[in-house]
Amino acid sequence: MGYKTIIEDDIDILVAGAGLGGTGAAFEARYWGKDKKIVIAEKANIDRSGAVAQGLYAINCYMGTRFGENNPEDHVRYARIDLMGMVREDLAFDMARHVDSAVHQFEEWGLPIMRNKKTGAYLREGRWQIMIHGESYKPIVAEAAKKSADKVFNRVCVTHLLMDESKENRVAGAVGFNVRTGNYHVFKSKTVICGAGGASNIFKPRSVGEGAGRVWYAPWSSGSAYGLMIEAGAKMTQMENRIVLARFKDGYGPVGAYFLHLKTYTQNAYGEEYESKWFPALQEMVGKEYLDPEASHATHRPIPTCLRNHAIISEVNAGRGPIHMVTMEAFQDPHLEEIGWHNFLGMTVGQAVLWAATDVDPKYENPELTTSEPYVMGSHATGCGAWCSGPEDLSPPEYFWGYNRMTTVEGLFGAGVMPLVVRRTRSLQVPSPKVVWLPRLLVNTSTTARPKASVLPMPRSSAARKRSTSHWKPTRLAVTKLLPVLLTRTTSTRVRVWIVSRS
């Protein structure tokens, strides 16, 4: 056969995996390293690769400090409640203070952002979300990367990171293969930015046969972000975290704009509001500090999305399903109807195809909602990924050991799905939280209570027990190897939670 081995040497920055995160990182890297050699390796074509290949019709994290809307600490507070305490607040703050400048750059690059005609500000979908015409979100950012990188290797799938022989725990590049030619590619690089993806199809998809590919997250997402990191020895965090989303049935059509912008709402099979009925039981399960409906009514405090999804599951289990999204009211307004369809066409065309094929017109019938199968991924406000250093000026000493967003492996950085609670580095939008933790995995993070040992096995050393008595948040770090099969080995460690508060 004669496969070739192709060596690319003297790279300064290798971007392994160029979805929206990797392409954005390549652009930013060019500014900081004008004369550096920046190379991108991507298993598809960067014009349409990664989870944003279809586009995205909202930017789900925009502070709007420019319009006097939110400050970074507001978003930290929101993320803390919505993720029930499982956040790195230094990283959340850092992401929030940079995200607006990324959005303003995207607008300059040509991304159409909808404006509020009265105020001139960006059109808000919810408190954190803004509406965009984002069909070409990925190609627009990819264009920036193409202008920035020295070389772009499309169709080269990175399979392993290389480690430095002369220095322990130091990354030295990556290897992969061309999915078309089978040629073996070796990238020798001083630093690696891992922008690879999370994992679909670990759990059996709800749709089978031909529908297997119509998963919520991209079917080509193999979990290589975690596979690469783990094999390189990077410390991973909260890998037991799974994301389950409420979506339109069978097509996984997004619900964010429907809930927030179109003001549609859910009801059970009897046309009843069901969510609040489950609040007392949920509150008992997670504690009042995470679910306090009265406080939520009075302030902007969110009801954690995972609990709202849990209410859907509970209601269906109680025999009062299916859950419907009430679209019939909003869709009588032709403008809102158009936005509802654009929303699908710009990011989940499959839902529009399904409704057209099965004659589901949301103007005249309320379509069905359901929860997705679980995924392992780090964006979309889930909580797993590599343990990364925070920025120097924000992070407490134990969260800071080098460059911002560097993993525990020297020279190995994360972008996109991979770093814990980074969500996405500067170049990326941050989708709204849509996460369900299975209840047995919930960690009670109140100051005194500790997780039950039977549920969450803890390290049993006496020193560890002593440390965990007061303000330590015990966390089990399960490391999940996702490539090539789901094979689990675990390590346990403890981290202290630092929170942003008024001084």
Partner 1 sequence: MPTFVYMTRCDGCGQCVDICPSDIMHIDKSLRRAYNIEPNMCWECYSCVKACPHHAIDVRGYADFAPLGHSVRVHRDEEQGTIAWRIKFRNGKKDMDLLAPITTVPWGTGYPDLAAAPAPAKEMRDSQLLFNEPKYVRMDEGGLHTLESNGLELKEGVYY
Answer yes or no whether residue 207 interacts with partner 1 by CB under 8 A: yes
| CB of 353 vs partner 1, minimal distance in Å | 5
Which helix (H) or strand (E) segment holds residue 392: the answer is none
**Residues 389, 395: Cα–Cα separation, whole Å:** 8
Answer yes or no whether residue 182 interacts with partner 1 by CB under 8 A: no
Nearer CB in complex with partner 1: 162/497: 497
Answer yes or no whether residue 118 interacts with partner 1 by CB under 8 A: no
| CB of 18 vs partner 1, minimal distance in Å | 11
**Which one of the spans 118-126, 166-174, 268-276, 490-498 is the region binding partner 1 (CB under 8 A)?**
490-498
Among 13, 18, 22, 28, binds partner 1 (CB under 8 A): 28
State which of positions 361-380 bind partner 1 (CB under 8 A): 361
Answer yes or no whether residue 265 interacts with partner 1 by CB under 8 A: no
State which of positions 292-321 bind partner 1 (CB under 8 A): none
Answer yes or no whether residue 31 interacts with partner 1 by CB under 8 A: yes
Pairing label, strands 151-154, 38-42 = parallel
The answer to whether residues 76 and 89 touch, using CB atoms and an 8 Å cutoff, is yes
Tracing tokens 């994992």 back to the chain, one arrives at: 199
**Which one of the spans 211-219, 320-328, 371-379, 487-495 is the region binding partner 1 (CB under 8 A)?**
211-219
Tokens of 62: 């925009």
CA distances 96 to 89, 110, 163, 397, Å, are 10, 22, 33, 21
Answer yes or no whether residue 148 interacts with partner 1 by CB under 8 A: yes
The C-alpha angle 392, 301, 279, rounded to 5 degrees, equals 130
| CB of 125 vs partner 1, minimal distance in Å | 16
**Residues 24, 4: Cα–Cα separation, whole Å:** 30
State which of positions 90-109 bind partner 1 (CB under 8 A): 90, 93-94, 96-98, 100-101, 104-105, 107-109
Phi, psi (rounded to 5 degrees) for 88: -90, 105
| CB of 402 vs partner 1, minimal distance in Å | 14
The answer to whether residues 16 and 193 touch, using CB atoms and an 8 Å cutoff, is yes
CA distances 377 to 15, 120, 207, Å, are 19, 35, 20
Answer yes or no whether residue 467 interacts with partner 1 by CB under 8 A: no
Partners of 77 in the β-ladder: none
**Which one of the spans 1-9, 120-128, 272-280, 385-393 is the region binding partner 1 (CB under 8 A)?**
385-393
Partners of 173 in the β-ladder: 162, 188
Among 5, 446, 461, 490, binds partner 1 (CB under 8 A): 446
Nearer CB in complex with partner 1: 265/472: 472
Picking from 162, 51, 100, 13, the residue whose alpha carbon sits closest to that of residue 417 is 51
The answer to whether residues 293 and 233 touch, using CB atoms and an 8 Å cutoff, is no
Answer yes or no whether residue 213 interacts with partner 1 by CB under 8 A: yes
Answer yes or no whether residue 135 interacts with partner 1 by CB under 8 A: yes
